[in-house]
Amino acid sequence: MTTQQATEFTHQTVLLHEAVDALGIANERSNGIFIDGTFGRGGHSRLILERLGPHGRLIAFDKDTQAIACASQITDPRFQIVHDSFATVAQALQALNIEQVDGVLLDLGISSPQVDDAARGFSFRTDGPLDMRMDTTRGMSAAEWLAVAEEEKIREVIKNYGEERFAFQIAKAIVARRQAESITGTRQLAELVAHAVKTREKGKDPATRTFQAIRIFINQELEDLEVGLAAAYSVLAPYGRMSVISFHSLEDRIVKQFFAARVRVAQPDRRLPIRQADLPQPQMRLLNRLKPSDAEVQRNPRARSAILRVAERLPGDSV
C-alpha cells in the first residue's frame, strides 16, 4: 500500500488509554519490556512508547503486511516489530534472549483499515476480492477455501464461529452456487447469504455472521488466541499484567475462561492433612473489566462491543 493509499483508511484505537494504563508502566517498570501483540496501526504501541523510560523496550507483533509497513515508520530504538502472530511470542522472545516481560497488550479482531479497504475482502459493504487473510503472504484465501471445502465443514465453521442459526442453509447454498460459478467476490457471497437467511436480525446485515465466521476460520483467530494467551502468560514476570480487548463473545469467552482458570484454583479435600502453605495458590488476580464510555461509542460506533479485561500474574505460581 502506498503512503497516499494508507491515508485513506483511518483507525480509531478503542480503549486506548484504558488498555495502556492497565499495564502499569510507571516508576521502575517504565524501563521494563512490554509486548503489543496486535500492532494494527500502532495506536497502543505509540502510547506505550510515550510512557516507557529511556531503557524500556517494546516488541510488537502483527500478521498483516500493511501493519508491518506502518510499524516500519517508527524509528524509536526501543521499538521492534515482528511479522508474525502473537501466538509465537515465546519463540520470538527466546530468539531475542528475553526470558520475561512486564506486560502484554492484545487488541483482538480486525482494524478499521482492514474492514474499509475493499481489496482485503473483509467487508460485504463494498465489492472486492474474497480474500479475508490478515497475512496475504500465507495460507488460503476465503475464495480458495470455499471452492474446495466440504459442505459439512462450511456449515460447521459458519455455525461455530459465526453463531449463525441458518448455517445449514448457507453452506448448502454455497456448494450449490460454486457448481455453477466460482464465488470470488464479497458482494457475490453476501447476496448468496441474504437469499439463504430466512429472517434478519434488526439493524444487522444477514451476511454479518457468515463473514465473521469465515474470517475467524481463515486466520485461525481463536486458535491463535488460545495459544497466544498461554504463551504470553508463560513469559510474564511476577506482577506483570495482561491487558486484553475483545470484540465478540467467542473471543471474550476464551479470555474470561483463561483468566478465571488461573484466578480460581481447585482446592483439595479439607480433611486431607495438607499444610496451608502447601495448598495450591492462585496464579493471577483480576484487576479490571471495562467497556468503552458512552462518549467513546458516540465518537466510534465500532467500539460498542469492546470489552477490556485485565489480570496480573502473582509471584510464586507455577507455569
86 assigned to a ligand binding site: yes
DSSP reduced 3-state for 232 = helix
Better pLDDT: 277 or 293: 293
CATH of 3-112+221-313, one of 3.40.50.300, 3.90.950.20, 3.40.50.150, 3.40.50.360: 3.40.50.150
CATH of 136-218, one of 1.10.150.170, 3.40.50.2000, 1.20.120.790, 3.90.1150.10: 1.10.150.170
Who contacts 159 (Cβ-Cβ below 8 Å, separation ≥6)? 165, 167, 168, 213
Whether residue 239 is predicted with pLDDT greater than 60 in this model: the reply is yes
107 assigned to a ligand binding site: yes
Whether residue 204 is predicted with pLDDT greater than 80 in this model: the reply is yes
62 assigned to a ligand binding site: yes
195 assigned to a ligand binding site: no
55 assigned to a ligand binding site: no
* Grid coordinates belonging to 176: 450449490
Average confidence (pLDDT) over 52-67: 96
109 assigned to a ligand binding site: no
Whether residue 277 is predicted with pLDDT greater than 80 in this model: the reply is no
pTM exceeds 0.85:
yes
In DSSP terms, 288 is beta-bridged to 310
At residue 319, the pLDDT reads 42
Domain extent listing, the chain: 3-112+221-313, 136-218
pLDDT in tens, 102-142: 999 999 988 777 887 888 988 888 899 999 999 999 999 99
Q: Which residue has the cell 469467552?
A: 253
Q: To 10 degrees, the CA torsion angle through 31, 34, 36, 42?
A: 0
Number of helices (H) and strands (E) in the chain: give both, helices first: 14, 7
Distance of CA 43 to the CA centre of its chain: 15
114 assigned to a ligand binding site: yes
At residue 3, the pLDDT reads 33
Better pLDDT: 243 or 126: 243
Whether residue 275 is predicted with pLDDT greater than 60 in this model: the reply is no
Distance, CA of 242 to CA of 265 (rounded, Å): 19
